[in-house]
Structure 1
């Protein structure tokens, strides 16, 4: 069941994953229905602008906002995704670190330092993005698939050329 306005179930220090169509945005829940998150800076407020902002922005600001301002109409869930891999810091340390970062301006890169890297660094002390890792695996598989298709096309072309050469030799005789 999806979280609701009154019963999201988050505890201070939990990570909030927000599903925004083509990507996920991440925040750290700090209590009092507030989150801290890393948001790329842009002057464009259009939907296309927000996607371009993710890809083109080099700077981001750490903001503290009400969870519902950040989530908007999107689906979200509590996702402490790396608890099986890393030991989370104590909740009060996570909240203190997140609050200490508010208003900071940080480098931003969709691949190497996005909102998921930011929240994982605060919760676990490790900067990691499974979203980026999945994209890399999918991209690698797609590239391998293109390579296989190209190899198959080259083999087929060679076979067809050999057949044409055989036909031409038979007609000369």
Structure 2
């Protein structure tokens, strides 16, 4: 796993580089993250692909950060902290843990992994990367 500048804190958003997009997770402690994982994110990080565009459902998973990251680069990116006030950390963690194992509707445009984690942290489902996806998707 590539080194990072600082250890994630509870409730931090983790942005993980994938080929052509970023996968997002939220740090919940002891090396674990919770993330909305379409089938292309299930096995290992190396199997991720644009196949997630074709799925209608994803699972809320709790996995080791190292397993989700694989050989990819990642960073802590609480990018909306200046725009929105984050929930208290205990509320973020409680909400995230309660959802583990749920099967949720998934849309790359309106309900993806970034929407999921920003809603947990800020109560606002935001995703900047959908604005830059090619229109043929």
**Shorter-chain TM-score range:** 0.7 to 0.9
Greater percentage in helix: 1
Unmatched tracts of structure 2, length 5 or more: none
TM-score (norm 1): 0.70
**TM-score normalised by L of structure 2:** 0.87
Match of 1:84 in 2: 82
1:87-126 residue pairs with structure 2 within 5 A? 87-126=85-124
By relative contact order (CA 8 Å, sep 6+), the higher-ranking structure is: 2
Match in the other structure for 1:75: 73
Matched pairs, number? 133
The root-mean-square deviation of aligned C-alpha atoms, in Å, is: 2.5
Aligned to 1:3: 3
Indicate the structure (1 or 2) with the bigger Cα radius of gyration: 1
Q: Which contiguous aligned blocks of 4+ residues in structure 1 show a shift greater than 3 angstroms?
A: none
Instruction: Measure how far apart 1:9 and its partner are.
Output: 1.1
Q: Flag the structure with higher strand content.
A: 2
- 1:8 to partner: Cα distance: 4.7
